[in-house]
Structure 1
Amino acid sequence: MKTYLYLLIAVAFETFGSSCLQASNQFTRLWPTLGVVAGFAGAFWFFSLVLRDLPLGVTYALWSGIGMVLIAGSGWLLFGQKLDLAAILGIGLILAGIIVINLFSSAATH
């Protein structure tokens, strides 16, 4: 259970770092740029802790899938980026894939 908490923390850091990347205006704004560094450093640290217990392929699939969903939401909420029907359907498919991995895959255990 702690492993999945670390995974969620890694995703939260990655979402923060990616949102700061958008706000940094190509690294021309100091505080968002520092947020990028802190966000990705935290993300990779917690990602490495998850790899103690879960295989790389499954961990990366979960991390990137959850991250894509959260980044799409962040772009929509913070930056006014539009999500059309195709984007929403695609996000739903990503979520479905995450659910299938966690409920049915024996690869999700080390």
Structure 2
Amino acid sequence: MNAYILLTFAIVSEVIATNSLKASQGFTRAIPSVMVVLGYGLSFYLLALVMRVLPVGLVYAIWCGIGIALVMLTSIVIFKEVPDVPAIIGILMIVGGVLVIQLFSKVTPH
């Protein structure tokens, strides 16, 4: 399977796990707590597969950057946590950094 498709699934499972971490209320709720463990487990497994093909720095930058942005977006919808303007600017800068790596870096196999 394409490494970028696996990376996408790794990011999605990490975002689910992170939101579940909040919903677990300190691991006092069973279902969200199980989702945390399964989500992070799946995410790290998929990351390991992706790192067979792509460089670790590239993979981690994409995983973190896109994951941070998606967690911010999902927390707005799920938990009604609306970020202020500096937070939005910061997230946009992170996404911009990931795009620069993808579009212009020689580390990325194009």
For the criterion TM > 0.5, the same-fold answer is: yes
SS at match of 2:54: coil
Inter-partner Cα distance in structure 2 for 1:42 and 1:16: 11
Structure 1 residue identity aligned to 2:94: I
Number of the residue aligned with 2:80 = 80
SS at match of 2:81: coil
Deviation at 1:89, TM superposition (A): 0.8
Query: Quick one: percent identity of the two aligned structures?
Result: 39
Structure 2 unaligned runs (5+)? none
Structure 1 unaligned runs (5+)? none
Deviation at 1:74, TM superposition (A): 1.4
Structure 2 residue identity aligned to 1:102: Q
CA RMSD of aligned residues (A): 1.4
Which runs of structure 1 show a deviation greater than 4 angstroms over 4 or more consecutive aligned residues?
Answer: none
Aligned pair count reads 110
Number of the residue aligned with 1:25 = 25
Scaled by the length of structure 1, what TM-score is found? Answer: 0.95
